[in-house]
């Protein structure tokens, strides 16, 4: 019942945000629908293939973060990754993050500490990759000289690349940050209380799993896999953005800049159902910097978002089917 209320509230917030954006941009539903007449079947197929490929890289990245002795099979991890991807998109308040632990435990019997450590490192690598892509796009746009009036592009790009390096360091040695947190908790005396003591013990065990994930170059291999995975994300946005009507003057660097800002706004804590409203706001802001009108930006961003949601649900359902087959196979093997 509580989850249903959260989903309902999230849907209401999404509808309100989209309505406000449409009113602000002077866009009606007909203009958004017209974008679907522009996009070709070839563009949709290419976007679907790109979306599927990023799941392949994402699943393999999760796998390499596990110790070899307990590393889940690729097919199992791919099914879990697809189902988890749908959950993180449609469940409110980022509740979907917890599904990764539940799904992988059920499908592969993975331990909680190892799974949580893999998830934490993967999320840190996502932020590092996003900052890196955003930074490179900003530096590329600054170097091109096509936007001399935007003098802040180069400093922004340098700051984002520096942030990417810092977050990458946390991903490789996430246990250091956790140790600082537990040390602070102990210094504040939280460990004297039963709840605080259990929390510190749990976080200590997570620190061990995070430290273990950095051994044998596993975190480094995961970081390398993040690069083609995020290249697929940016390519997906560029393909659909152009397909739904972004002007030809918007190149790949500008498309990556706009997509990066949209992704950043979509991960704020108040994101609504499927990030509707917050993603579009970032998309409109990002492409507005390069002269794209609110009407065109909102229409293209909404079209892209709908395709993303449809693909996430389709792959998510397939992932649940795959997890069911894996569970049945494990059950038959245990008899």
Percent helix, strand and coil across the chain, each to the nearest 5: 85, 0, 15
Q: Is residue 181 part of a domain?
A: no
- Predicted local distance difference test score (pLDDT) of residue 305: 85
Average pLDDT over residues 86-97: 74
Q: Is residue 329 part of a domain?
A: yes
pLDDT of residue 1 exceeding 50, the answer is: no
What span, in angstroms and rounded, lies between the C-alpha atoms of 108 and 320? 13
In the chain, the N- to C-terminal Cα span, in Å, equals 37
**In terms of residue numbers, what domain contains 259?**
2-19+29-122+225-334
What span, in angstroms and rounded, lies between the C-alpha atoms of 104 and 101? 6
Average pLDDT over residues 137-147: 92
Q: How far is CA 59 from CA 72, 75, 81, 193, in A?
A: 10, 9, 6, 39
Q: Is residue 68 part of a domain?
A: yes
**Domains: count for the chain:** 1
Number of C-alpha atoms within 13 angstroms, CB side, residue 281? 20
What span, in angstroms and rounded, lies between the C-alpha atoms of 310 and 91? 15
If phi > 0 it is left, if psi is from -120 to 50 it is alpha, else beta; for residue 40 that is beta
Q: Is residue 268 part of a domain?
A: yes
The predicted-structure confidence for 125-140, as pLDDT tens digits, reads as follows 999 999 999 999 999 9
- Predicted local distance difference test score (pLDDT) of residue 256: 94
What span, in angstroms and rounded, lies between the C-alpha atoms of 177 and 315? 34
The predicted-structure confidence for 3-59, as pLDDT tens digits, reads as follows 445 445 444 544 554 555 455 445 555 555 555 667 889 999 999 999 999 999 999
What span, in angstroms and rounded, lies between the C-alpha atoms of 34 and 56? 33
Average pLDDT over residues 201-222: 72
Per-residue tokens: 115: 């799974």
Q: Is residue 156 part of a domain?
A: no
Average pLDDT over residues 240-251: 89
Q: Yes or no: say if 197 and 191 are a contact pair by the CB < 8 Å rule.
A: yes
- Predicted local distance difference test score (pLDDT) of residue 91: 74
For residue 201, what pLDDT band results from cuts at 50, 70 and 90?
low
Secondary structure (3-state) at 267:
coil
Angle, CA 237 vertex, CA 34 and CA 117 arms, to 5°: 140
The predicted-structure confidence for 252-279, as pLDDT tens digits, reads as follows 999 999 999 999 888 765 555 545 557 7
For the chain, give the number of residues: 335
- Predicted local distance difference test score (pLDDT) of residue 206: 62
What span, in angstroms and rounded, lies between the C-alpha atoms of 335 and 333? 6
Secondary structure (3-state) at 1:
coil
pLDDT of residue 325 exceeding 80, the answer is: yes
Q: Yes or no: say if 59 and 222 are a contact pair by the CB < 8 Å rule.
A: no
Q: Is residue 174 part of a domain?
A: no
What span, in angstroms and rounded, lies between the C-alpha atoms of 325 and 175? 35
The predicted-structure confidence for 180-191, as pLDDT tens digits, reads as follows 656 665 665 555
- Predicted local distance difference test score (pLDDT) of residue 190: 54
The predicted-structure confidence for 57-72, as pLDDT tens digits, reads as follows 999 999 999 988 889 9
pTM listed for this prediction:
0.82
Q: Is residue 188 part of a domain?
A: no
Residue matched to tokens 């799974």: 115
Q: Is residue 88 part of a domain?
A: yes
């Amino acid at each position: 019942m509580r989850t249903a209320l959260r989903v309902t509230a999230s849907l209401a917030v999404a509808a309100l945000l989209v309505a406000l954006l449409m009113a602000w941009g002077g866009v009606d539903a007909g203009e958004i629908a017209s974008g679907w007449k522009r996009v070709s079947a070839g563009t949709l197929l290419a976007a679907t293939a790109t979306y599927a490929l990023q799941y392949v890289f994402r699943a393999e990245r999760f796998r390499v973060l596990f110790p070899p002795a307990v590393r889940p099979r690729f097919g199992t991890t791919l099914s879990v990754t697809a189902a988890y991807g749908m959950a993180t998109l449609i469940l409110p308040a980022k509740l979907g993050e917890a599904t990764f632990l539940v799904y992988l435990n059920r499908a592969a019997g993975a331990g909680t500490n190892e799974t949580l450590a893999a998830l934490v490192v993967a999320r840190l690598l996502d932020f590092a990759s996003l900052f890196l892509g955003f930074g490179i796009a900003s530096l590329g746009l600054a170097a091109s000289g096509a936007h001399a009036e935007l003098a802040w592009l180069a400093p922004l790009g340098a700051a984002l690349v520096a942030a990417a390096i810092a977050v990458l360091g946390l991903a490789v040695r996430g246990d250091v940050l956790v140790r600082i947190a537990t040390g602070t908790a102990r210094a504040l005396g939280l460990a004297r209380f039963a709840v605080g003591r259990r929390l510190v013990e749990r976080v200590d065990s997570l620190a061990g799993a995070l430290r273990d994930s950095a051994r044998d170059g596993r975190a480094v291999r995961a970081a390398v896999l993040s690069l083609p995975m995020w290249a697929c994300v940016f390519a997906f946005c560029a393909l659909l953005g152009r397909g739904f009507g972004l002007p030809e003057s918007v190149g790949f660097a500008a498309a990556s800049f706009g997509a990066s800002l949209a992704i950043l706004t979509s991960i704020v804590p108040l994101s609504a159902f499927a990030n509707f409203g917050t993603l579009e706001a970032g998309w409109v802001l990002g492409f507005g910097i390069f002269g794209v009108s609110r009407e065109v930006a909102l229409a293209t961003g909404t079209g892209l978002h709908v395709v993303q949601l449809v693909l996430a649900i389709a792959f998510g359902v397939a992932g649940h089917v795959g997890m069911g087959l894996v569970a049945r196979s494990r059950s038959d093997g245990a008899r």
